[in-house]
Chain A
Amino acid sequence: MNLRMVGCTHRASGVDLRQQLAFGTEQTSDALARWRERFPTAEFALLSTCNRVELYAAGAGPVEAPETDELVDALLSYHGVPTKRVEGQILSLHQREAVAHLYRVAASLDSMVVGEPQILAQVKQAYQRSVDSGAAGPALHDLFQSALRAARRVYNETSLHKHRVSIPSVAIADFASRVFERFDDKHVLVIGAGEMAEETIRYLQDAGATRIHVVNRSPERALELATAWSGVAVPWERLWDELAAADLVIGATGATEPIVMAERFERVVAPLRQQRPLFILDLAVPRNFEPEVGEQLGVYLYSLDDLAVACERNRDARAAELPAAEQIIVAETDAFMAAAHRRITGPVISGLRRNLEEPKVAELERLFKKLPDLDERSRAEITQFADRLVNKLLHPPLESLRDASQEGPPHGLLDAIRRLFRLEE
């Protein structure tokens, strides 16, 4: 197998380049089709997320996959990006390094937020698109299946993924879930329509929230966000009514002063709520809620600072799990590479076996003709003897090949066997 990966990731390239090289769903299918046309013997898979654009190419033999330069050119030319623009920002990996990289990506060890769960689904999607486009073959099938297996092992055998580290995920999974048993019947109010608000809505929807109201000073932006997440845009003037009705509030505006004052909250909202629990996530800097709002009965107010402590603790917990996760990646990579190397030896082993089998059959025929009086039992014994002899003769070279495959492609040994036994290519 010949495997290469080229692409850009958040580690080496800026967000501008990643955005420039990003592929949408339809673009991916189109690009895969084009590349298949250009390199008919190769298999392709494209992983495009906000943190990475990676093109994987594989071929059954050394000549069937494109060279690194050809792959970079294929990737850049699709978007019309000049080579000079990506200097020093393109990552290219070959064979074992490419395998280990995909495993680390799938297990979320290479993510910007290590352990974040979305990447595994994105890797699955990338492979599925490649299959649907007819760009995947046996080589990429083995690679991606083993990558998913490695990721699952990391997920099951370490607690890396159990410790959430992004602010919204910690807020929802570690704190809001201690207040509410379920989210599908909760009234969620989002104040603001920025990135943080959107990310929090994503986690809330994952947790089951369906009644999402968005208030924002700019009604257009509120409508845009509400539409994107099947929510309802509410006029800014109704903020206080919404606060009285909500169960969970996310403050994420860019206001320079608090927009929810404790005095007004106590006077207007508290009497209407009658101590009904209210969970407030103030994710804005500076704060959208005066801290005194949290002193009201039934109100649980968390600011970024409060959540950052939990995030930091989870980050430390994740860091402690990293060595175990990396060990799994190394073990899985070793196993995959050894299996790939063993596959290279397949034709030689078949040739070797054929070289011994053919004379065995011929010699047995000759012997049985010479000894026509042999009964069935004797014939079977002699045949078994010949089989055992062939197997014993084959055993040492096969063992040597297997051992050599653990280290790398045993080209030298394969060549020697071919010459020794006069095997045809």
Chain B
Amino acid sequence: MSSGVNMLCFTASFGVALALEVMGLWARPRWRRLAVVVAALAGIVAQTWYLAERANASPWAPLSSQHDWYLSAAWGLAIVYLALVLYQPRASIGLFLLPIVLALIGAARFASTEPMAGAEMPRIWGILHGVFLMLGTIAVLLGFVAGLMYLVQSARLKNKAPLSERFRLPSLEWLERVNARSLIAATILVGLGFVTGVLMRLALRDGSGLQWTDPVVISLSGMFSWLVAAEAFRLAYPAARRGRKVAYLTLAGFVFLVITLSTFMSSKSMHGRGGESAGAGPKTAGTSPAARMQQSRSERAVGFIPTVQQEVTP
């Protein structure tokens, strides 16, 4: 039975949290921080509920569809945001992180709700593939946000701009550390995601082989190569371990991620069928997970979606 929790619930909660963060640029009443925490927590609880319902309703969940995958990434990033609000209470981190959380939810809204892999795919590899890539995405996004904040903070300090208490960022030292760790984590997690994808394909034994020409595989390979090169550069060249250089490396990693996610959503690849089902999002948005699953099943029943044999992961 549907609980009535839909995407609007957590989108609104995170929207309120972002509005409170923006409000902090002008006024910081005592209740603001508590309100931010409550709004973010409410959003996370609602999103957890929504994802749990999706997982119950789908035999392939979690992370079975693009829709779920984006929402899970947003959920992970929202948890990171809540932890940072508590750890760095005075910093305006939400101004950088929450737009990305909302953007991921927005992407989920327009993403396909159809399963990316069929029942014949080895479930364990599919889950590992999805989880590693999702965590890798969170690491890249966190590195991007830390890199962006580093550049803003560094520019303010270099230009001796007035450092307002209403727009406070973490110290350069902290941002640099988060940046570097995000880059390491992203390289490892995306690498693991890539490898599990390959293993999943090999485990399938259907003779289709590894589909290296798949647009998502190509862009993911590009991102992984960049992350490995960036990490190697960082380890080999001491100046790249510090300050702006590591920030630039993570910003470039973000560009690769955007390309990969765009390909993920738009191309007719084995990772989903963005072309046809992109319209499914708006039609079903604002409805409960059970309703969305029912709709995706009925679409498949009338042959709207290609057969599962065509939707295989690398």
Contacts and interface: CB of A to CB of B under 8 A. Distances in A.
Nearest to B242: A275
B172 A274 contact: no
Interface in A312-355: 313
B244 A178 contact: no
A386 B163 CA distance: 71
Contacts of A103: none
B171 A309 contact: no
Interface stretch (A32-40, A51-59, A144-152, A296-304): A296-304
Contact of A276 (B153, B170, B242): B242
Interface string A282-304: 00000000000010011010100
A16 B153 CA distance: 45
B237 to A, nearest CB: 9
Nearest to A159: B165
Contacts of A313: 162
Contact of A277 (B160, B163, B169, B172): B172
B72 to A, nearest CB: 31
Contacts of B163: 174-175, 178, 310
Nearest to A176: B171
A177 interface: yes
A179 B174 CA distance: 9
A300 B157 contact: yes
A179 B245 contact: no
Interface in B231-266: 238-239, 242-245
Chain A: interface residue count, which band? 20 to 34
A199 interface: no
A277 B162 contact: no
B276 interface: no
A361 to B, nearest CB: 56
A273 to B, nearest CB: 9
Interface string A164-183: 00000000001101111110
Nearest to B158: A300
B153 A277 contact: no
B299 interface: no
A306 interface: yes
A274 B243 CA distance: 10
Contact of A181 (B153, B173, B244): B173
Contacts of B173: 179-182, 277
B239 A310 contact: no
Nearest to A294: B158
Nearest to A295: B158
A174 B90 CA distance: 13
Contact of A298 (B162, B170, B243): B243
A275 B239 CA distance: 6
Contacts of B243: 275-277, 297-298
Contacts of A276: 242-243
B15 to A, nearest CB: 29
A298 B173 CA distance: 11
B312 to A, nearest CB: 46
Interface residues of B, number: 20
Interface in B207-247: 238-239, 242-245
Contact of A178 (B157, B176, B177, B245): B157
Contacts of A302: 160
B174 A181 contact: yes
Nearest to B173: A181
A181 B162 CA distance: 19
A175 B163 CA distance: 8
Contacts of A309: 160, 162
Interface in B281-296: none
A162 B20 CA distance: 23
Nearest to B160: A306
Contacts of B171: 177-181
A160 to B, nearest CB: 14
Interface string B167-196: 001111110110000000000000000000
A292 to B, nearest CB: 13
Nearest to A179: B172
Contacts of B238: 274
Contacts of A310: 162-163
A180 B157 CA distance: 12
Contacts of A300: 157-158
Contacts of B239: 274-275
Given A277-B173, A309-B162, A313-B162, A179 B157 contact: yes
A181 B153 CA distance: 13
A178, A181, A310 pick with most chain B CB within 10 angstroms: A178
Most buried by B among A175, A179, A302, A310: A179
A306 B242 CA distance: 25
Contacts of B177: 181
A289 B292 CA distance: 66
Nearest to A163: B165
A294 B153 CA distance: 16
A294 B154 CA distance: 12
Given A179-B171, A181-B171, A298 B242 contact: yes
A39 B294 CA distance: 94
A313 B174 CA distance: 27
Given A182-B173, A275-B245, A276-B243, 6 more contacts: A179-B157, A181-B173, A275-B242, A277-B176, A277-B243, A309-B160
27 contacts: A175-B157, A175-B163, A177-B171, A178-B163, A178-B169, A179-B157, A179-B172, A180-B172, A180-B173, A181-B170, A181-B173, A181-B174, A182-B173, A274-B238, A275-B239, A275-B242, A275-B243, A276-B243, A277-B173, A277-B176, A294-B158, A298-B242, A300-B158, A302-B160, A309-B160, A310-B163, A313-B162
3 nearest A-B pairs in the assembled complex, by CB-CB distance: A181-B173, A274-B239, A181-B171
Interface of A: 174-175, 177-182, 274-277, 294, 297-298, 300, 302, 306, 309-310, 313
